[in-house]
Chains A and B, each alone.
Chain A
Amino acid sequence: NAGVMQNPRHLVRRRGQEARLRCSPMKGHSHVYWYRQLPEEGLKFMVYLQKENIIDESGMPKERFSAEFPKEGPSILRIQQVVRGDSAAYFCASSQQGANEKLFFGSGTQLSVL
């Protein structure tokens, strides 16, 4: 009964490269959320997706960031042309019925931009 799986656990990129972060939600969960955690700060919402649909992307930077949750396969958070300020822990969470229900979090991907 696997939980939310995120990979890679650690990702190192040089400035200007692309970063792809993957998230497989818990079995049976169709709601996926991405959050970013910067040092000494709380979790900041980025995007909320359901299968094949972006429901709320109000927390996503307007440029370089995109997310998808295809019909088959994991959800992907993609950051193009990374900059040092993108260095953070990125967490994925899933739920069965949305925010008023329990969110299950993955262990996160620590992105380091050199």
Chain B
Amino acid sequence: GNSVTQMEGPVTLSEEAFLTINCTYTATGYPSLFWYVQYPGEGLQLLLKATKADDKGSNKGFEATYRKETTSFHLEKGSVQVSDSAVYFCALPAGGGSEKLVFGKGTKLTVNP
């Protein structure tokens, strides 16, 4: 089935720093790709998605581009804020006719003032 490998954390940045969280995938075909975010004490929520190659998903200043050449979907933000502190998960459908999502291990981001 499909799988995802995500940059391990934790990541600690100062406010207004540039953020990159790496995510690479292995998949049959070109499934949709997702980034989910989990704020402390909460469930996951969808941050952004891309449905086909070269698509760019964006939301709240975050961006990720679906790159089939490098099988990557790296998450970026030009200037992080303290409120961005959370755990970020890369995900994709498991494939093989399955309807489940497969998640990376998560990357914990802490942004200091």
Contacts and interface: CB of A to CB of B under 8 A. Distances in A.
Nearest to B98: A56
A-B interface, 8 closest residue pairs, ranked by CB to CB distance from nearest: A105-B43, A42-B105, A43-B103, A99-B93, A98-B99, A99-B99, A105-B44, A45-B100
A99 B43 CA distance: 17
Contact of A43 (B32, B41, B45, B89): B89
Interface string A75-114: 0000000000000000101000011101111111000000
Contact of B105 (A41, A59, A103, A104): A41
A107 B32 CA distance: 24
Contacts of B106: 42-43
Is chain B's interface secondary structure helix, strand, loop, or mixed overall? strand
B99 A103 contact: no
Interface in B34-63: 36, 41-46, 49
A33 interface: yes
A47 to B, nearest CB: 9
Given A42-B105, A107-B43, A48 B100 contact: yes
A70 to B, nearest CB: 20
B101 A99 contact: yes
Contacts of A107: 41-43
A100 B100 contact: no
Chain B interface size, as a band, is 20 to 34
Contacts of A98: 99
A12 interface: no
Given A33-B101, A103-B101, A104-B45, 9 more contacts: A31-B99, A35-B103, A42-B89, A48-B100, A58-B98, A59-B100, A98-B99, A100-B93, A105-B44
Contact of B31 (A41, A100, A102): A100
B43 A106 contact: yes
